[in-house]
Amino acid sequence: MNKQLHNLGLALVLSLPIALPAVAWISPAHAEQVKAKEGWYNKLVDIEFVKQNVDIPPKKGVMLIDSRPAARQYDPGHIPGAINIPDSKFDQMAGSLPQDKSTLLIFYCGGVECMLSHNSAFKAEKLGYTNIRVYADGSPNWAAKGTGQAVSAAYIKKLLDEKASFLLIDARPKRMFDKGAIPGAMNISDSEFDKHVDKLPADKATPLIYYCGGLECVLSNNSAEKARKLGYTDVKTYVEGYPEWVKVYGEAAAPAAASGAGATAKATASIEAGKEKGSITVASFERIMKENPDSLLLVDVRDAKEFKAGAIKGAIHIPINELEKKIETLPKDKPIVFLCGTGARSGEAYDTAKLLRSELQVYFIDAEMKFNADGTFSIKERGK
């Protein structure tokens, strides 16, 4: 018995040299992949990592960088929120990188055969950046498995100049659209998307491009996702939206001047009316929040995800698409201020409240706001 065990063990030992060097048996396809990885940056991430760190509004401390050329590749379709620093222009555009060298930088380009993102990652490392990753699967993988692609202002301008067949949709409330919009755009407010589905083209292959109030605005993303669920197959967003368009191409003519008489007779004396009807000035809002914050009822009308990430301490949450059915819960004996990130949804909330319950003392912030997880906030008037 012992002799048999000895012989069996000897046979196993003798077989090991044959079994161990399995790496020598590589298929031609696998060999090509191994060869393609030569020269790659050594810190790689997959699509799930990108999804966790890239969003609209953009996550703090993260920059996503598309290393592909602009006109032919980045402009027609890129990961939403990505900035474009073509590897060929890295040195000239290095100033676009954040000052904080510990910022998470995620580079990507045209997939596993593309070296541009790896080249740029090495260059960023030489500049002293310490938290660099490369999404090697890049644009093709995102197009197949991501959450939608974005386009640039230059691409929209090109389509307009060429009179291309596509539909440009402004997802902001009508009050914002009426003050100025990208030429050729039609208005379907995200909060009224379901009411205006009939305005969308019958051909589900028609290219649709949604935009709204900039990187802090989620309306275009929301509407784009709704369109995809309806079966539209070519839906993209212009996430930098109307604010960037104005900077690049100038402001479109507004249909009518805004009224400055915003205060209602019931408003308290400390509330100063803003230029836009129904708005409260940034200065008076900040003063009240400092001196007597309990004198106002703050109603945050952003989406649940945004509210959870950060909101003003004491604010209640009523998403804009739920305001109509919850309007009766609002008190008529206390000034109410609607809040969002850009003034678009809060302005729509004001219009809705005045239409449904004119007796309410309602106002909105017509400015850019950022909300922190600790309950604090920052606010900036437009153009400042």
Residue 95 is predicted with a pLDDT of 96
Rg of the chain over Cα atoms, rounded to whole angstroms, equals 27
Segment 227-270, tens digit of pLDDT: 999 999 999 999 999 999 999 998 764 433 333 333 333 334 46
187 within 8 A of 181, measured Cβ to Cβ: yes
Do 231 and 318 belong to one domain?
A: no
Look at residues 125, 145, 165 and tell me which one is the last residue of a structural domain: 145
Q: Structure tokens of 235?
A: 């839906």
20 domain residue, yes or no: no
Residues 123 and 208 in one domain: no
Query: Which DSSP string corresponds to 37-69?
Result: TTT--S-B--HHHHHHH--SSPPTTEEEEE-S-
The amino acid present at 158, given as its one-letter code, is K
The Cα–Cα gap between 157 and 261 comes to: 37
The reply to whether 5 falls in a domain is no
Q: Encoding tokens for residue 72?
A: 């032919």
Q: Which domain holds residue 224?
A: 151-249
Residue 261 lies in a domain: no
Residue 292 CB: number of other CB atoms within 10 A? 11
Sequence-distant (≥ 6) Cβ neighbours of residue 332 within 8 angstroms: 357, 359, 360, 361
Reported in sequence order, the residue ranges of the chain that DSSP labels E, i.e. its strands, are 62-66, 83-84, 104-108, 132-135, 149-150, 167-170, 186-187, 208-211, 235-238, 297-300, 316-317, 336-339, 362-364, 368-371, 377-380
In a shared domain, residues 139 and 169? no
Is there a domain that residue 6 lies in? no
Q: What is the CATH number of the domain that holds 94?
A: 3.40.250.10
| Strand ranges of the sheet holding 186-187, from the earlier edge strand across to the other edge | 149-150, 235-238, 208-211, 167-170, 186-187
DSSP E strand boundaries for 109-264: 132-135, 149-150, 167-170, 186-187, 208-211, 235-238
Amino acid making up residue 122: F
Please give the C-alpha separations between residue 61 and each of 64, 97, 109, 132, 280, in angstroms, as whole numbers. Answer: 10, 12, 21, 12, 32
Query: Which of 113, 145, 177 marks a domain boundary?
Result: 145
Q: Please give the DSSP secondary-structure letter assigned to residue 72.
A: I
Residue 78 lies in a domain: yes
Among 137, 143, 135, smallest CA distance to 49 is for 135
Last residue of a domain, one of 203, 228, 249: 249
Residue 35 to residue 112: CA distance in whole angstroms:
11
Six-digit token string for 160: 């307009």
**pLDDT reported for residue 6:** 46
243 and 291 in a single domain? The answer is no
Residues of the chain with pLDDT under 50: 1-6, 8-36, 253-269
In a domain? residue 19: no
Which residues are within 8 A (CB) of 223 and not within 5 positions of it... i.e. 6 or more apart?
Answer: 169, 171, 188, 190, 193, 210
| Tally of domains in the chain | 3
What lies within 8 Å, CB to CB, of 250 at 6+ separation is none
Output the pLDDT for position 258.
34
pLDDT of residue 333: 83
The answer to whether the pTM exceeds 0.95 is: no
Do 129 and 169 lie in a common domain?
Answer: no
